[in-house]
Amino acid sequence: MTRYVMVADLRRCVGCQTCTAACKEGNATPPGVQWRRVLDLEAGTYPDVNRVFVPVGCQHCANPPCMEVCPSTATGQRADGIVTIDYDLCIGCSYCIMACPYDARSLVDRTEYAFGEAATAAEAARADRRTIGVATKCTFCAGRIDAGTARGLVPGQDPEATPLCVNSCISGALSFGDIEDPTGPIATLLAENQWFRMHESEGTEPGFYYIWDKGKL
Amino acid sequence: MSTPAAREIRNVPSYCYNCVAGPDLMTVRVENGVATRIEPCHAAATIHPGLGRVCVKAFGLVQKTYNPHRVLAPMKRTNPRKGRDEDPGFVAISWDEALDTIAARLRDIRARGLLDDAGLPRVAATFGHGGTPQSYMGTFPAFLSAWGAIDYSFGSGQGVKCVHSEHLYGEFWHRGFTVAADTVHTRYIISCGTNVEVSGGVCAVRRHADARIRGVKRVQVEPHLSPTGACSAEWVPIKPKTDPAFLLALVHALLFEHERRALDLPFLRERTASPYLIGPDGYYLRDPTSFKPLLWDEATGAPVPFDTPGARPALEGRFTIAEAVTRGPDDEVRPQHNVAARTAFTAMADAVQGYTPDWAGGICDIPAETIRRIAAEFLENACIGETIEIDGETLPFRPVAVTLGKTVNNGWGAYECCWARTMLATLVGALEVPGGTLGTTVRLNRPHENRLKSVQPGEDGFMVAHFNSTGRKDWLAVPSGRNAHRTLVPIVGNSPWAQALGPTHLAWMFSSDAPKEWPAPPLPEIWFAFRTNPAISFWDTAEIGRAMARMPFIVAFAYTFDETNHMADILLPDATDLESTQLIRVGGTKFVEQHWAHHGVALRAPAVAPQGEARDFTWISTELARRAGLLERYNAALNRGAAGAALKGEGYDFSLAPEQAHDVDTIWNAVCQAATAELSHGAEVHDLDWFKRNGHYVVPFKREDWYLYPTMVRLGLRFELPYQERLLRVGVELGRRLHEQGIHWWDHQLDEYVAIPQWHDVPERWVQSIRDMGGDPDDYPLWGITTKVMPYTTGNNAGIPLMHEVSANLRNHGAVVINATTAASLGIATGDWVEVRSPIGATRGRAAVVQGCRPDTVVIPGQFEHWKTPFAKDLAFPSLNTVVPLSLALTDATGSGADVVRVALRKVAAPAEAGAA
């Protein structure tokens, strides 16, 4: 079995938002929609303060609450763990947006462009009307994974089979791969470091791991 | 969405050099002729220290290309009146009209002479951030070379935009125009405000992240908790502008609170001037015959010239010297008989004896025990005596470093910081060795490609230093440029970069209020501006704007309308990053932390056709040269190497015919072939088509060449530390020259020329400046400082919506950052509108209330408050530049000031109306 997961090493992340920008451009998401973004969090009281940068997005949960509430069966789950949205089935009810504990889903009901009413040539070339009026979120760049694995490439190791955010990450904070590969880099990374997953108590079993060795955030 | 089968997809090699921390390599994805996204250059993962990746800024280049607000045709001004409130009345014109208009003025100037009656160049040019525009201006350097004298003194900003003092002192002491930790080897970094995780670029971010996983400890010393502080092991919230006291106290602690044998004594003895003897007049005691500085030879118990074979130098001590001479200012030779002497090391110890951690703690608002602990940790990690093998050579291993950020490195106090930082490295032998504090590149010396080759033996056992003369005969009494860099700043020298590193704000200030002792400086008759917006990026932006409006003829290479080209007479739309061709040098050691194990060249190939009538900069340059009658000189400059590689070398000749106007591809094809022939010593020649397919060509660069130490050993040279005899002498001479001219307005700056830097009340200078501006310091109780966020760290992208959107994930984007306790005392909550005011004006923004900021400090990130740049002008973001004065009193001896000002803070109901500030 394969389960693709993302690992964010919070010791490395500098909050630069390169992954945010790479995702937005690569997936042509409209203004305000960020499938990947990095939170800027602070804890403590001056002068004992911690500031931490936390990449977030769809956690591709093993037990996705979004799928549970989806009335149209648009939200699905692949055998490799990737949580999907079938735009042809989605009715835009937003139940999933309310159900997601990770604030990972977006819905826009009209087309907007970066500079206003008119699309730039790049936006026109990438416009996907299917994403208007439906829920959208991080896909783990499933299209790249599928195209890459079809060519024998390994997600997380070969760039052409790897999510764009991971490819772009300049600090090496983001890693991706099959957690079920016991000798693979993801399993090794998690075995050698302390990690947590967000909102574990919700029983979602996220496919997004955070490496962190400095105690409670 | 189009089906994949319908797409024609190309991946075009390119680079991003939008900030000095580049260049980084990238790929532009083009679908059916439209650039759709930026991707890393994965093919460069094995040769680029950042694995072939580019930072967030590069992802804005697609929007930059298709920005509907671009200027897409040449334009001319129709309203002769200039000013912020004047509509320029720009109308589109043909390229022929635009270029002929400029060329006619150029020819007229040439006929009358390149210099005006005051001896100043009639043509001036300003380019933006850190020399990076050169990587986008094609062959314009060849045009500038063909022209001749040009005034580069109108700057676009210092302070947070530049590590000015480090440039000058770093290059003087260890060929470090910029200075960095050897992050891949180091174990302990004291970072005084160095925001490397924001402005260090891809290579630095990756190196520091790897170092954190390896266990490096970085102590971040800064008034607010930046991303770099966030990623550090410890944050020390220091009071603004007290870093000199902190660093001097660390030097004190190493000298007085630890055993002497904990220092690298052999390094100090052999590789520095620590043993040189200082006479009672403050100058080196010299051998009366050879004039060489003396040291005390413990073997013979006598003074001997510093380079005496077999001598065992006394590192410290006080001695009586029977016969010697000193060399004072203006080559005064002073006989010395039976005089008391001390070593330079002892002089240093004497000078810092009072700078205890307890003393500094009160000044810096840092517990003395914290300073003591940091000094002890620095020493513990220095690994004195250990070695490491690099490229088969055994080198000292000293994995401790000290880095300085902008503002720390600018204006008053910066000399002290630069000296103390370099001395901390020197005391433990961690200067220019693996793990230590390194210079990265040179700009005041040559060659730029390899700083080691700039090291030549000079006076007194030191590297050669190229100061502007302060001698009676050769001092330049009448400035040759409008910022008087050769006249006022000896250390900056007179290299092609020197003028831009002089006191660039003086050019703006003197344009309206010139010193009476010099001929009144006429404004340049033509001012070229490219990738620069001083009307936003300099201090006192209102005054800069007024000065700019007086310029008689401005040619601006224009991307969109902006606050600077609002004053222009001609706008020329150049093809931007994804539309034009250029080959640049990559690798080796460049600015910041671009340390590669390779060096070579990379092509920025045009991914898409230029929008509108935008033209490749090389075409524009060639046409300007042709129409101005400079074609042969222009081609000669290209043949000499003005486009990055000499076209003729040993075993190859790709020279361009001098009398022809060559097209863009012909020129770059020759450069590509010449560069590869040069790099491969003739073994490989690759043309432009090859580069369009492959992007880059590199050859190995020795890692040993990251370090200056082996070169110093090979040449038997010493670092010119700790004692600054040369600066002391130069300062006295400069004072004499200025006073001989009746000039006394530079006297405070002369005070900085001391042999061992001493603390003075640096913050008080900014308090005094409030009084000087007619204010009451009690009305301005807070420190106003600035910082950067990566999406806006240079890059000219304030008008790019993607940068704004992703930056909004950061808490301080477009905000005034305020400590929570301070905010509560003023009734301010996050999101409230607040006003930050100094005596010269006010700026407004929304409050970001945080814990990670000193209670006495507010932070305004970036440089905004645009009033013309499309998109940016609607952001209603504040700018510290609006409230920082242009001030001679706040200018240090190197000619730099800092982005610091005392401010008042209050809650307001709404953003200010345009122009109300």
A12-62 pLDDT, tens digit each: 999 999 999 999 999 999 999 999 999 999 999 999 999 999 999 999 999
pLDDT digits (tens, 9 = 90+) for B312-368: 999 999 999 999 999 999 999 999 999 999 999 999 999 999 999 999 999 999 999
CATH number at B762-907:
2.40.40.20
User: Is B63 touching A (CB cutoff 8 A)?
Assistant: yes
Q: Looking at residues B372-400, what average pLDDT do you find?
A: 97
Closest partner residue to B56 (CB to CB) among A18, A39, A123 is A18
- Alpha-carbon distance of B511 to B548, in angstroms, equals 9
Share of chain A above pLDDT 70, in %: 99
Q: Which of B204-213, B290-299, B665-674, B790-799 has the lowest mean pLDDT?
A: B790-799
Handedness of CA B752, B756, B761, B763 (dihedral sign): positive
* B285-286 β-sheet, strand order: B277-278, B333-343, B318-327, B285-286
Interface size between A and B, measured as CB pairs under 8 A? 179
Cβ B57 vs Cβ B202: under 8 Å: no
What backbone phi and psi angles, to 5 degrees, belong to A71? -80, -15
Which site among A11, A13, A14, A146 would you substitute to test the B interface, given the most B Cβ atoms closer than 10 Å to its Cβ?
A14
Considering the domain B164-445+711-733, what is its CATH architecture? 3-Layer(aba) Sandwich (3.40)
Chain B residue with minimum CA distance to A158: B42
User: Is A46 touching B (CB cutoff 8 A)?
Assistant: yes
Residues of A in contact with B209 (CB under 8 A): 11-12, 14, 171-173
CB contact under 8 A, A22 and B38: yes
Residues of B in contact with A121 (CB under 8 A): 34, 66
CB contact under 8 A, B206 and A172: yes
pLDDT tier, B883 (very low <50, low <70, confident <90, very high otherwise): very high
Residues of B in contact with A44 (CB under 8 A): 851
User: Is B26 touching A (CB cutoff 8 A)?
Assistant: no
Distances from the Cα of B472 to the Cα of B241, B329, B489, B730, angstroms: 36, 10, 16, 12
Q: Is the ipTM of this complex over 0.95?
A: yes
Considering the domain A4-211, what is its CATH architecture? 2-Layer Sandwich (3.30)
Domain boundaries, given as residue ranges, for chain A: 4-211
CB contact under 8 A, A15 and B230: yes
pLDDT tier, B913 (very low <50, low <70, confident <90, very high otherwise): low
The span from the first CA to the last CA of chain B, in angstroms, equals: 47
Smallest CA–CA separation between B849 and chain A, in Å? 11
Q: Looking at residues B704-731, what average pLDDT do you find?
A: 97
Q: Retrieve residue B494's tokens.
A: 């007179």
Chain B residue with minimum CA distance to A26: B37
Closest partner residue to A159 (CB to CB) among B35, B42, B50 is B42
Residues of A in contact with B228 (CB under 8 A): 14
* B400-404 β-sheet, strand order: B234-236, B217-221, B188-192, B400-404
Smallest CA–CA separation between B235 and chain A, in Å? 8
Domain boundaries, given as residue ranges, for chain B: 164-445+711-733, 762-907
Which site among B208, B851, B875 would you substitute to test the A interface, given the most A Cβ atoms closer than 10 Å to its Cβ?
B851
User: Is B279 touching A (CB cutoff 8 A)?
Assistant: no
**Is the pLDDT confidence value at B681 over 70?**
yes
pLDDT digits (tens, 9 = 90+) for B828-870: 999 999 999 999 999 999 999 999 999 999 999 999 999 999 9
Chain B residue with minimum CA distance to A118: B68
pLDDT tier, B794 (very low <50, low <70, confident <90, very high otherwise): confident
Q: Which of A20-24, B99-103, B541-545, B816-820 has the lowest mean pLDDT?
A: B541-545
User: Is A215 touching B (CB cutoff 8 A)?
Assistant: no
pLDDT tier, B500 (very low <50, low <70, confident <90, very high otherwise): confident
User: Is B771 touching A (CB cutoff 8 A)?
Assistant: no
CB contact under 8 A, A120 and B821: no
- Alpha-carbon distance of A156 to A186, in angstroms, equals 9
Residues of A in contact with B811 (CB under 8 A): 40, 42
Distances from the Cα of B681 to the Cα of B101, B211, B601, angstroms: 44, 36, 14
Closest partner residue to A125 (CB to CB) among B34, B811, B855 is B34
User: Is B855 touching A (CB cutoff 8 A)?
Assistant: yes
Residues 6+ apart with CB under 8 A from A207: A3, A4, A5, A6, A59, A60, A61, A62, A81, A179
User: Is A172 touching B (CB cutoff 8 A)?
Assistant: yes
pLDDT tier, B157 (very low <50, low <70, confident <90, very high otherwise): confident
**Is the pLDDT confidence value at B636 over 90?**
yes
Closest partner residue to A121 (CB to CB) among B39, B66, B852 is B66
CB contact under 8 A, B209 and A114: no
